[in-house]
C-alpha cells in the first residue's frame, strides 16, 4: 500500500454532507458522486482531485454514515486522505471501499507531493518522514484486496 499524490488542502470538520450532498444520493451511478463531490464547498474542486492527496484538518468525514462520501472521493481519483483524525464511520467506510486514510497532521502543504506507505507505516512530505500508527493486519488485507467486497468475493 504505497502511493503518492499532490496535496489539496481542506479545513477541519469536513462533514459528509459537504463531501457529497444529500440530493445526489438516490442513484447507483458512481460517476455522479465523483462529479458533484465537494460541490457546496467549492464547485471547482472536483476536477482537481484526480491524483490528489487530500490534506485536511481534524475530524474529517463527520456527520452522516453515507458511504457515498468515501466512494465519491475514490471515484474522483483521490489517492489518499490525510487528517489528524477521522470520524469513525467514515474511517470504516473508507477502509471498506479501499480508500487509503492516513492519520497525521501535515499542516497545509498545498500543491506539494505527499508520499506514504501504509504497510511500513510512514508518510513523507518535503523529504520529512513521519511514522504512522500501524493498521491491523485485517484492515491491511481489506485495503490490499481493494475493499471489503473484493475481499469477501475471493475469500472462501
Residues that bind another protein (CB under 8 A): 13, 15, 17-18, 21-23, 25-28, 40, 58-59, 62-68, 70, 85, 87-89, 92-93, 96-97, 136, 138-139, 147-150, 152-153
Minimum distance of another protein from residue 126's CB (angstroms): 27
CA–chain centroid gap for 57, Å, is 13
- Which of 96/113 has CB closer to another protein? 96
Helix H or strand E encompassing 2: strand 2-9
Instruction: Return the SS3 of 102.
Output: strand
Minimum distance of another protein from residue 93's CB (angstroms): 4
- Which of 37/66 has CB closer to another protein? 66
- Which of 119/141 has CB closer to another protein? 141
- Which of 1/150 has CB closer to another protein? 150
Alpha carbon distances (Å) from 142 to 40, 71, 99, 102: 31, 15, 10, 15
Task: Give start and end residues of each alpha helix (H) in 3-147.
Answer: 16-19, 30-36, 68-75, 88-97, 137-145
Amino acid at each position: 500500500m504505497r502511493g503518492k499524490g499532490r496535496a489539496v488542502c481542506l479545513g477541519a470538520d469536513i462533514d459528509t454532507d459537504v463531501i457529497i450532498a444529500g440530493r445526489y444520493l438516490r442513484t447507483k451511478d458512481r460517476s455522479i458522486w465523483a462529479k458533484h463531490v465537494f460541490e457546496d464547498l467549492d464547485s471547482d474542486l472536483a476536477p482537481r482531485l484526480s491524483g490528489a492527496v487530500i490534506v485536511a484538518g481534524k475530524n474529517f468525514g463527520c456527520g452522516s454514515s453515507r458511504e457515498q462520501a468515501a466512494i465519491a472521493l475514490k471515484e474522483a481519483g483521490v489517492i489518499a486522505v490525510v487528517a489528524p483524525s477521522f470520524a469513525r464511520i467514515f474511517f470504516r467506510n473508507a477502509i471498506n471501499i479501499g480508500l487509503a486514510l492516513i492519520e497525521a497532521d501535515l499542516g497545509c502543504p498545498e500543491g506539494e507531493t505527499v508520499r506514504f506507505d501504509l504497510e511500513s507505516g510512514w508518510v513523507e512530505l518535503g523529504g520529512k518522514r513521519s511514522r504512522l500508527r500501524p493498521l491491523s493486519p485485517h484492515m491491511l488485507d481489506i485495503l490490499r484486496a481493494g475493499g471489503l467486497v473484493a475481499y469477501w468475493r475471493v475469500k472462501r
